[in-house]
Amino acid sequence: MTRLVRRSSSSPLLDHHKEKHFTAGEIVRDVIIGVSDGLTVPFALAAGLSGADASSSIVLTAGIAEVVAGAISMGLGGYLAAKSEADHYVREMKREEEEIINVPDTEAAEVAEILAEYGLEPHEYGPVVEALRKRPQAWLEFMMRFELGLEKPEPRRALESAATIAIAYVLGGFVPLAPYIFIPVASNAVVVSVAVTLLALLFFGYVKGRLTGNHPFLSALQTTLIGAIASAAAFGLAKAVKSL
């Protein structure tokens, strides 16, 4: 009785079942990718152009062009990545389905081995194996999840990933470019842009740390440091090239 109670309260199979929430994690990941690059790349570009003494209108024009191109590129990259995952799932599912049809005894033995790894005894997993053999679709889904560790992707995952990354990139890119809309002198606008963007990077890094399970303050410092280094390098390089 004690053994049964222990298993029902901390079952590895139930822990594995919690992977249903992975889709939300993918959306958060897409937002992080889009905002992170959206804040950093246009920030460095604007700082570099400001270092070359470009006007605010030129910085803004170039920045908007970069944000549009970056959003399309990042969105397409997200689409292709998600599409590749979906294609991989389909290929593995077809292969597993063929194995269930052609070598059912071998696949049934693999089911028994998987269940045994979770602590089930032969008299416990035997009925489960027999039940799966009578339900090929459930058997296939079991093998995909517990043997291969693959979750069925959402049908619209690729398009959602592309849109999420692209929109997040645009929103992030607007932050360092906004001061150039209201301040006509680039040398003044860049000061405001640096202050606003570094604050945004701090906030974004903190939120990212909370969402990903990392130390929020360390994540905030790391994210801000990366953005600061990128913009400082672009600004300094532009000044050096201009002086030559």
pTM: 0.73
Going 57 to 60 to 62 to 64, the CA torsion angle's sign is: negative
Using CA atoms, how far residue 131 sits from 48, 106, 117, in Å, is: 65, 16, 19
Q: Where along the chain do its domains lie?
A: 24-239
What pLDDT digit, counting tens, does each position of 211-235 carry? 777 788 888 898 888 888 877 887 7
- CA angle, 34 then 68 then 239, to 5°: 90
What pLDDT digit, counting tens, does each position of 105-150 carry? 888 888 888 888 777 777 666 787 788 877 888 888 888 888 888 7
Distance CA 31, CA 7 (A): 37
Using CA atoms, how far residue 89 sits from 20, 107, 139, 152, 154, in Å, is: 16, 18, 16, 7, 11
> What is the predicted pLDDT for the residue at 244?
65
Tokens of 62: 């170039």
